[in-house]
Structures are given as structure tokens and as C-alpha cells.
Amino acid sequence: MCQRENSFYVDTVRDFRDRRYEFKNMHKQWKKKLSQAQENKDPLEIKRCNAMVVLYDSLQLAHKCILNSFYGYVMRRGARWYSMEMVNIKIVMAWRSFDLLITALSILLFKFIKPNQFV
């Protein structure tokens, strides 16, 4: 069945991605609350915030694993929703992210290390 006729796969991946972003945002919020609780030295609040940080981190990681398996499934030739176009888009996006990361790390590295330091 064509993805244009039945967008189940695309809708499911989009929903998982959006939910992962929600969990990542909640994780950041609870980390901020944890920092505030540590400043206030409130042991009960620290414990509660720690639990929520672990919960949201676990949820976003679980969604990341599931999303990666969705992308892997799309590459399998016998898959019902096989789509080389989707695979190519994912690879290009990953490569761009990797390229940006390497560029940023190189800039940071050269701020702290002189280019002729290892010669």
C-alpha cells in the first residue's frame, strides 16, 4: 500500500519524534528545578527532581531507540513501508549534523590549542 494513501508509518514516526521532543524539554525543565532544589538544599525536592530527571531522560532515550528502529525498518527491502527516499533524507540529515558537530569541535579545539603546539 502506498504511503500517500495510508500515512500510518509517517504519522507514527512524526508522533514519536514530537513526543521525544516533549520529553527532552521536560528533562531540561526538571534539571533546572533540580539545580534550584540543590541551591535551596531541600532533600525531598532534590529526590523528587532527581526521579523526574531520570524518568524523562529514560523516556526520551526509549523514544530515540524506537525512532532509530523505524528508520532501520524503512531500509529493509521487504518492509511494507520500504522507502529509499526516506532513508536518503535521514542519511543526509545525520551527515549534516555530524559535519556541524565536527566543525564546532574544531573551532573549540583551536581556541584552546595553538596550531603549531604539536609540531
In this structure, the answer to whether residues 60 and 45 fall within a common structural domain is yes
In this structure, the answer to whether residues 73 and 96 fall within a common structural domain is no
- Across the range 26-51, mean pLDDT stands at 95
In this structure, the answer to whether residues 77 and 114 fall within a common structural domain is no
Percent of the chain at pLDDT above 70? 74
In this structure, the answer to whether residues 11 and 51 fall within a common structural domain is yes
- Across the range 101-114, mean pLDDT stands at 73
In this structure, the answer to whether residues 60 and 12 fall within a common structural domain is yes
In this structure, the answer to whether residues 119 and 78 fall within a common structural domain is no
- 22 vs 6: which has the higher pLDDT: 22
pLDDT band at 83 (very low <50, low <70, confident <90, very high): low
pLDDT number for residue 103 = 79
pLDDT in tens, 35-46: 999 999 999 999
- 67 vs 109: which has the higher pLDDT: 67
Q: What is the domain range of residue 116?
A: 83-119
Alpha-carbon distance of 81 to 86, in angstroms, equals 10
Question: Would you say residue 100 has pLDDT above 90?
Answer: no
Radius of gyration of the chain (CA): 21
What cell does 61 get? 532515550
Question: What's the total number of domains in the chain?
Answer: 2
0.85 surpassed by pTM: no
**Residue tagged 523528587 (cell numbers):** 48
In this structure, the answer to whether residues 3 and 32 fall within a common structural domain is yes
In this structure, the answer to whether residues 58 and 92 fall within a common structural domain is no
Question: Would you say residue 2 has pLDDT above 50?
Answer: no
What cell does 103 get? 566543525
pLDDT number for residue 107 = 76
In this structure, the answer to whether residues 76 and 92 fall within a common structural domain is no
Alpha-carbon distance of 37 to 104, in angstroms, equals 33
Of 22, 15, 103, give the one whose Cα is nearest residue 66.
15
Are 21 and 67 within 8 A, CB to CB?
A: no
